[in-house]
Amino acid sequence: MPTERFIRDKAAICDDLERLARARRVITYGEAAALVGRSAAALMPVLAAIRAEDARRGRPDLTCLVVAEQEGC
């Protein structure tokens, strides 16, 4: 059973990803993690839950908007 924090963080990340999709923008793992006060590694289960829910509902995978930060870009 997901914790209250997990549910809250998932909702916050989903809202931000929807906003980013409308703006045709991306976000780094670090930026996404900072939005909810998690490390990038701790964000992975949240993103996996979002990805699974999108697939289950036949929606585009919004988690593809979360990208690795590239040096020199």
Q: What is the pLDDT along the chain (73 residues), one digit of tens a residue?
A: 889 999 999 999 999 999 999 999 999 999 999 999 999 999 999 999 999 999 999 999 999 999 998 754 4
Q: What are the phi and psi torsion angles at 67 (to 5°)?
A: -125, 160
The count of other CB atoms within 10 Å of the CB of residue 56 is 8
Domain segments of the chain: what residues? 4-67
pTM of the model: 0.88
How buried is 17 (Cβ within 10 angstroms: 0-12 exposed, 13-18 middle, 19+ buried)?
buried
